Structure 1
Amino acid sequence: MFSFLILFIAFSAIGCTEEIPEDETYATEDEESLSGPFFFLNSVMDVRIFDEDNDTEEVRRAISKEVQRIESLMTMRDMNSDVSKINENAGKEPVIIDKDTFHVIERSLYYSEITDGAFDITVGHLVDLWGIGTEDQRLPSEEEINLSLSLIDYSEIELDKKNLSVFLKREGMMIDLGGIAKGYAADRVTSVLAEHNVESAIINLGGDVYVHGDRDNRDFRVGIQDPFSDRGEHMGIYNARDKSIVTSGNYERFFEEDGVTYHHILSTKDGYPVQNNLVSVTIISNLSIDGDALSTAIYAMGIEDGLNLVNNLDDVETIIVTEDKEVYVSNGVMDFFTISDDSFNLKN
């Protein structure tokens, strides 16, 4: 998923609801110790370290090595990756894979179960068919979509935890970890920061943000993208420390054909882009892997089912924005979130 969040240098105490002053500045590279950027699954990862006495070059090397390792395992573009080997052997035989890939797939099945398939990594064939965000994007035929739908079924993934093997039971099935691998990569980078005793940093992976630690014992302030603006403006501010903030929206990747807009969040039920009056879903969680998977799933599930799910999960919150600029939030959001644009209306 590709999202836009705006990170401000300014920070405030927990529960602060004051507006950001008009003259408040954005975070800039020359104001912070910059480590990166790195590239991961067609996204740019930017890691900024605020510790004064830390060896940022050593940390940079460690992060670069880890990010490259994860991408080599989980990309679909390398025929030697774990994901490519699993897909190549669909319907044939199990494939022994790295423990990290196994963990991500195992976690993916958990999200599939709790979202009743709204999140399903076996969408690989469907995603490839539409090609949204690539030079091959197009509107598929009904026959093509129906074929892809017949290959989507997370229950057809067989895991062997003892041997760390994965088997797709039907030939032609394809897994795609694009909806979760970015989150896992951000979590791994957070672990690298902790291993190097970094106390204050920001990870920005294609717009998905993780704030590591705090700034002088105060929260970072993260601006949530106004989904109706193409200028990077924000509609609200979320105060956070040691949190992942991930947004999925229909404005991220799309194309138009014959006056119809087709966005990249595809329904596992009918094979077309989800249509439910939502514009964006933001997930706030302790782990980025949760936010990455759940932001897409909640978008597909809609307001009522999405809020019900999040309100029954520990350490997960959500902010949902509709086409009418209505904002729906989970139970614990308003202790840390402020709507900063009065054209948006809180509905619950």
Structure 2
Amino acid sequence: MKPLRPLRRRFIGIAATCTALGMVPGLTRRALAGAPETSSWKASEVSPDIVIWRGTGASADTTVWRGIALGADAELRIIHPDAAFAQDMVTRSIAELRRLEKTFSLYQHDSALSRLNRDGALNNADTDLLMLMNDAVHYAALTDGAFDPTVQTLWELYANHFTQHGTSSAGPSKEAVQQALQRVNVSAINVTDTQIQLQPGMKVTFNGIAQGYITDRVTDLLRNAGLDRALVDMGEIRGLNKNQNAPAWRAGLKDPQSPDKLLETVLLTNDALSTSGGYGTWLDDSGAHTHLFDPKTGESPRLYQSVSVLAPRATTADALSTAFSSMPVSQVEKVVKQLGIRAWLILPDGQILVKA
């Protein structure tokens, strides 16, 4: 039986749109290379694996790329009158994305994270890996352990169980879960300026924060290159808008029960938005076990249908939407007020709590 692999599906919560711009016709991964040109969009093959769309007419300043980043749908929208400059920005952004995937991917055997999990330690660790590990430790402390990248041990336990016994079976035994929990503790990781040392049997995943980090790095790259306006979605979404007179980007929070329905539209200028919801990846047929784990119980939290966070940076939004999924409302409120961010909590009965 094929091993389970977590994929963060786009219907988890964010539908990116923008003022005065329609969606690119036929822009799906399957149709990228062969989609016909239309009166308002034209496709260009930059390389065998990069196809971009350039608007014409009213959308003449818009360049769009879509693809995959760490197993999630990704999109980049660049607003610039110079098509060559915009194409160069896309190419540089994709290069940065692929470079960071070589650091954070769990499914590239030679990535820095894969080597850390395999060997238990990294000397002369990659700078980005060190930065994100320190970020993870920070958000773990901020959320009283609700965010913890060492839950990879739990993922492997559940994934192996359902691969061997089928998705209609009950989950792992309580004893097996308790054994795995003994290796879930980010504070037990030893991080120095150059080295990361794990405890025996411990493994790390950055699936709850790396998409946000990559989104931030690509946004920073575009800003530093002089770009004024873009929408960056490398698994999480962030707006770039240095022109105060330009319209804000808009992102729609989707209804977990009806993905075609938007619950609310959020304006983005230079903000980031992230959504986490267990319904995005069921491990079993009943949906009782998902890709989200409570680091304290070893089980999938059932407090909310989904959690969305608006924050200045995508790394923050990504980590906190993950952590808030297993935190009671009172604890979420405390962090929201401390950081001055905003959160949407969709309760099991469909009620929406907005915290700011």
TM-score normalised by L of structure 2: 0.80
Residue 340 of structure 1 is matched in structure 2 by none
SS at match of 1:202: strand
Shift, 1:147, TM fit: 1.7
**Is 1:145 the counterpart of 2:145 in the alignment?**
no
Q: How many pairs align?
A: 307
Report the AA paired with residue 16 of structure 2.
Answer: L
Q: SS where residue 207 of structure 2 aligns?
A: helix
* Counterpart in the other structure of 2:228: 199
Residue equivalent to 1:178: 207
Which residue is equivalent to 1:262? 289
Q: Could you tell me which runs of 5 or more consecutive residues in structure 1 were left unpaired when the two chains were aligned.
A: 12-24, 332-348
Contact 1:249–1:281 (Cα < 8 Å) also in 2: yes
Once structures 1 and 2 are overlaid, which stretch shifts more, 67-76 or 49-58? 49-58
What pairs with 1:223-234 in structure 2 (closer than 5 Å)?
223-231=252-260, 233-234=261-262
Secondary structure at the aligned position of 2:204 is classed as coil
For structure 2, the 5+ residue unaligned runs are 1-7, 26-40, 42-54
Q: What's the CA shift for 1:83?
A: 1.1
1:51 aligns with 2:80: yes
Q: In the alignment, residue 327 of structure 2 is paired with which amino acid?
A: M
Q: Deviations over 1:42-95 (max 9, x none)?
A: 1222101122225222111101110010000111222322212222232xx553
Which SS does the other structure have where 1:301 is aligned? coil
Three-state SS of the structure 2 residue aligned to 1:251 is helix
Q: CA deviation at 1:103?
A: 0.1
User: How far apart are the structure 2 equivalents of 1:307 and 1:125?
Assistant: 29
The residue number in structure 2 matching 1:329 is 354
Relative distance call for 1:186 and 1:94 in structure 2 (3 A) is closer
Aligned partner letter, 2:192: D
Alpha-carbon contact 2:277-2:305 (below 8 Å) kept:
yes
Deviation at 1:281, TM superposition (A): 0.8
RMSD of the TM alignment (CA)? Answer: 2.3
How far the C-alpha of 1:218 sits from its partner, in A, is: 2.3
Normalised by the length of structure 1, the TM-score is 0.82
Counterpart position of 1:83 = 113
Question: How many Å apart are 1:215 and its aligned residue?
Answer: 8.4
> What are the equivalent positions in structure 2 for 1:116-155 lying under 5 Å apart?
116-131=144-159, 138=167, 139-155=171-187
Shift in Å at residue 260 of structure 1?
A: 5.5
Structure number having the greater strand percentage: 1
User: Which residue number in structure 2 is paired with residue 343 of structure 1?
Assistant: none
- Secondary structure in 1 aligned to 2:117? helix
For each residue in 1:198-243, what CA deviation from the matched residue of structure 2 results, as whole angstroms up to 9, or x when unmatched? 211112234x321211685222222111111133x20011122011
Q: Which moved more, 1:208-217 or 1:290-299?
A: 208-217
Q: Hey, what's the Cα distance between the residues in 1 that align with 2:146 and 2:16?
A: 29
- What is the deviation of 1:244? 0.5
Identity of matched residues, %:
22
